[in-house]
Amino acid sequence: MANQEKVLTDRRVAIIATDGVEESELLEPRKALEEAGAKVDLISLKSGNIETWSDQDWGSSIPVTKTIHEATAADYDALMLPGGVINADRLRLDEDVVEFVGDIVRAGKPVAAICHALWTLIETGEVEGRNVTSWPSLKTDLENAGAFWVDEEVVTDEGWVTSRKPEDLPAFNEKMIEEFAEGEHAGESDDLDEDEEEEEDEGEDDEILAS
């Protein structure tokens, strides 16, 4: 990441995780983001510390920056979602987490998700039409939600970066930094603006015909 310098100096990034998060998928992307200059907050379901999962057992205890109830999506420029079955299963069932993630996505802000983390993206209802990858067992869930799933180490699609597993982290981190540095992509607000312009054009046409 040294060759990327501090390309995220003005960026604030949210990482959402809870107990059972895959340790490498939390710590390595966070390190990459911080080395690129980003201000990173670890947001969780509870205050205090969360316990990671590593090598089929409980791992490190990681301090939480703030709870999901204290966090506001508008305060962040990008979102990173680490995996881990226990972690992802708990997060996708939390309404506040799903709302926060959905707000980030609908604002067109970049998102990076790895392994089982895409479960939470499915819950937002925003994966339809997206090109993604994930842990293989999520393939059917993603396709049923309208996504196009491929078995590749990293997939990018209009600000989204997805990967399958810890072994993909080098490629995942590199693409994540690139997309986060690029910033917001076309979101629903742009679509609404286009719709409003079309309505204005139609109104002008009607005035011309009536005159």
Separation in Å, CA 178 to CA 72, 151, 175: 24, 21, 5
Two structure tokens written together for 172: 């995942």
Within-domain flag for 192: no
Within-domain flag for 139: yes
Within-domain flag for 26: yes
Is residue 65 exposed (0-12), middle (13-18) or buried (19+ Cβ within 10 Å)?
middle
Within-domain flag for 167: yes
* Distance between CA atoms of residues 58 and 197, nearest Å: 54
Within-domain flag for 202: no
pLDDT of 186-195, one tens digit each? 644 344 344 4
Give the mean model confidence (pLDDT) for residues 159-175. 98
Element (H, E) at 39: strand 39-44
**115, 117, 142, 145: the active-site residue:** 115
Question: Is 140 part of the annotated catalytic residue set?
Answer: no
pLDDT of 4-43, one tens digit each? 579 999 999 999 999 999 999 999 999 999 999 999 999 9
Pair 26, 172: CB distance under 8 Å: no
**Mean of per-residue pLDDT scores for the chain:** 90
Interacting residues of 83 by C-beta distance below 8 A, sequence separation 6+: 21, 22, 25, 113, 114, 115, 116, 117, 135, 165
Is residue 156 exposed (0-12), middle (13-18) or buried (19+ Cβ within 10 Å)?
middle
Within-domain flag for 203: no
Percent of all residues in the chain with a pLDDT value above 70, rounded to a whole number: 86
- Please give the tally of structural domains in the chain: 1
Question: Is 142 part of the annotated catalytic residue set?
Answer: no
Kindly report the CATH number assigned to the domain that includes residue 79: 3.40.50.880
pLDDT of 202-211, one tens digit each? 555 555 444 4
Two structure tokens written together for 4: 């990327």
pLDDT band at 185; cut points 50, 70, 90: confident
Within-domain flag for 142: yes
Give me the phi and psi of 60, to 5 degrees please.
-80, 160
**30, 116, 130, 165: the active-site residue:** 116
Pair 12, 43: CB distance under 8 Å: no
Within-domain flag for 69: yes
